[in-house]
Amino acid sequence: MNTTPNEHGITHLRHVDLAVPDFATQRTFYKDTWGLTEVGTDGELSYLAAEGSPEQYIVRLRRAAEKRLDLIAFGMDSTASVDAFAQTLAGRGVQLVGEPAALQTAGGGYGFRFFDIDGRTIEVSADVETRRHRPIEEREAIPVRLSHAVMNSTDIHRTRDFYAAVLGFRLTDTLYTPHMGQVMHFMRCNDWHHSLAIAHGPHPSVHHVSFEMRGIDEYLRGTGRVLQAGTKKIWGPGRHTAGDNTFTYFLDPSGNTMEYTTALETITTDEWHPTVYDVTQPGVQDQWGIADPFSEIVAKDSFNDPDRGVFVAPPV
C-alpha cells in the first residue's frame, strides 16, 4: 500500500471502535470466529489486532448499555500535520472533541477527535508505534488488515462533500440504481480504491466494516469458517466491479455488518475519472455471477439501528 499522505497529511484508516451491549458475545465472535487477536482488555474494553497489520489494533470493542459507533481513526504523517489539521478544522467551524494531545491508548502517539458533518466521532493521530506483525501464510484465513469502513448517511452528497472539502478525500466511484438514485460514494485517502464509503440510509449508522484477507483462497476459507459458525450471511461471495474487490457480508452478533474482502483495486494515476455504476446492470455488483442479485432487502440488512453516538463523544 502506498500511504503517501493526502493534502492534510492523512495516510490511512487505522481502526474502527464500536460500543456493544453484548460485550462478551462480541469478544468471542471477533476472536474465535472472525480471526482477530485480542491484544488487551480490562473487562470493559477489548483491543483486537490483525496478525498481518502493523496497527496496534484495528477494532476496539467497548462494553456499553447502548450500541453505537465510538469512532473511526485515521493515521496522519506527523504531529505537525495533526496540529495544522486541528487548526484547519476549527477554522472551518468543525466541532473538535478536544485539542491535540498525547494518546493514552496502546502505542501512544499524538492526535485529537472531532465530529464529522453527520456527528460521527473521527480520530486522527500520528507517531503511534507499530505493532510487531507477520506475513499471513498461504491458506491462513484470518484478516491481514482493515480494508475500509462504510457509513450510512441520510444525505450522501453532503457527507461526500464534507470529506472531500474538509478532509481531502477524493471521490473514486459512485453506485446508483434507477429506482433509488445514487446510493454509495467510494472515497480514498491513499491509493486504495476506498478507505471510506458513504451509503444512503435512513439514519447515520455503521453500514459495514471490511477486513482484507490474504487472497481469494483465504477469503473463501474464512467465509466458510464464519458460515459454519452459524453467523448470518447477508450477501456473497461475489466480486464487485467498483473497487474490483471480493465480498462476503455477515451480521455480527450486535447487528453490525462485517465484510471479508480481498484484491481491492489500487488507483495509481492522478487522472482517475470517477464512474457512476448502475448496480441493476448484470455483472456490476458481482462480476462472478454467483451472489444473489442485489435487492432492497439486501440493502436494508445494513441500515443498522440509528446510532446513539451522533454528536456524542465516546467516554474513552
Q: What residue type is 298 in one-letter code? A: V
Give min distance, CB of 84 to Fe ion, in A: 31
Q: Please tell me whether residue 210 binds Fe ion under the rule CB under 5 A.
A: yes
Give min distance, CB of 243 to Fe ion, in A: 8
CA 117 from centre of chain: 17
Task: Give whichever of 252 and 259 is closer to Fe ion, judged by the CB atom.
Answer: 259
Q: Please tell me whether residue 286 binds Fe ion under the rule CB under 5 A.
A: no
Task: Give whichever of 34 and 115 is closer to Fe ion, judged by the CB atom.
Answer: 34
Give min distance, CB of 208 to Fe ion, in A: 6
Give min distance, CB of 213 to Fe ion, in A: 12
For residues 285 and 239, the answer to whether their CB atoms sit within 8 Å is no
Residue of minimal Cβ distance to Fe ion? 210
Reference 68, options 116, 123, 120; nearest CA is 120
**Site stretch for Fe ion (CB under 5 A), options 79-87, 121-129, 199-207, 254-262:** 254-262
Give min distance, CB of 264 to Fe ion, in A: 8
For residues 5 and 11, the answer to whether their CB atoms sit within 8 Å is yes
Separation CA 27–CA 294 (nearest Å):
30
**Length of the chain, in residues:** 316
| The Cα angle at residue 46 between residues 43 and 51, in degrees rounded to 5 | 145
For residues 10 and 124, the answer to whether their CB atoms sit within 8 Å is yes
Task: Give whichever of 128 and 226 is closer to Fe ion, judged by the CB atom.
Answer: 226
Give min distance, CB of 242 to Fe ion, in A: 10
CA 257 from centre of chain: 11
| The Cα angle at residue 170 between residues 53 and 235, in degrees rounded to 5 | 60
Separation CA 57–CA 37 (nearest Å):
9
Task: Give whichever of 218 and 259 is closer to Fe ion, judged by the CB atom.
Answer: 259
> Cα Rg for the chain, rounded, in angstroms?
18
**Site stretch for Fe ion (CB under 5 A), options 42-50, 56-64, 111-119, 210-218:** 210-218
Size of the site for Fe ion (CB under 5 A): 2
Which of 259, 286, 301, 307: binder of Fe ion (CB under 5 A)? 259
Give min distance, CB of 52 to Fe ion, in A: 18
Q: How far apart are the first and last CA of the chain?
A: 30
Q: 161-200 mask for Fe ion (x: CB under 5 A)? A: ----------------------------------------
Separation CA 160–CA 167 (nearest Å):
10
Give min distance, CB of 77 to Fe ion, in A: 25
Task: Give whichever of 77 and 252 is closer to Fe ion, judged by the CB atom.
Answer: 252
**Site stretch for Fe ion (CB under 5 A), options 13-21, 162-170, 205-213, 224-232:** 205-213
For residues 79 and 110, the answer to whether their CB atoms sit within 8 Å is yes
Question: By the criterion CB under 5 A, which residues form the site for Fe ion?
Answer: 210, 259
